[in-house]
Amino acid sequence: MRPSGAFSTRAYRHPGEPTRTLEVARILDQPAIGTWTFVTIGLSNHVWPDAERPRIELILASTIDTEVCGQILADLAFHLSETGLYPEPGVVVRDMIASDDLSHRLPHVYITVPRAWRLELPLDLGPPPVTLAQAVPISELEYEVWRADPTALEASFATRRVVLADLRRIGG
């Protein structure tokens, strides 16, 4: 993804391998005014066990500008690349968020299609193609909805009019 407008990047170090880093870009007023976008730069260099999978970057929207968003994406990217779990829409990664306040309310990460940015995917046809997956912090109750029926979580978001970028929300 090529950021448009004002952006900055920060390198995050792997907790167990200090020489391993991943950059996360922070973009102001995307996908809407008053919202910040955080996107990994470098996860798409990872080769997945299934070579047919597209290369991928992670994206997260937030109504609050906090370094925690970059840390969430970096931690998630390191975890996915180590475990080989491909971040396809509908996947939930449990207990991914370590920030004290946020981890109590929204400890898990749900992967979905990044619709809010209205991007044409894949970003690059490749080969290999490069695409995006949106990371959405979710609550334990939202996880239980997903666990009971993985297709019900998106419907629950729509019914409750959940603003996925609102990290101050109490998921439920």
Looking at residue 6, its pLDDT comes to: 72
Is residue 108, in this structure, part of any structural domain at all?
yes
Residue 44 placed within a domain? yes
pLDDT, position 3? 46
- In the DSSP assignment, the letter for residue 33 is T
> Which of 94, 44, 43, 93 has the alpha carbon at shortest distance from 70?
43
pLDDT at 172: 60
Give the residue from 13, 35, 18 showing the smallest Cα distance to 26: 35
For residue range 11-37, list pLDDT tens digits in order.
999 888 888 999 999 999 999 999 999
User: Could you list the residue range(s) of the whole structural domain that residue 36 is in?
Assistant: 7-160
Would you say residue 1 lies in a domain? Answer: no
Residue 154 confidence (pLDDT): 93
Instruction: Report the pLDDT value the prediction gives residue 52, as an integer from 0 to 100.
Output: 85
In a domain, 30, yes or no: yes
Domain membership flag for residue 170: no
State the pLDDT at residue 105: 87
172 domain-assigned: no
DSSP state of 29: T
Quick one: pLDDT at residue 73? 96
Number of domains observed in the structure of the chain: 1
Q: Is the peptide bond before 127 cis (omega within 30 degrees of 0)?
A: yes
Quick check: is 84 in a domain? Answer: yes
Report if residue 171 sits inside a domain. no
List, for the chain, all residue ranges whose pLDDT scores fall below the cut of 70: 1-5, 100, 171-172
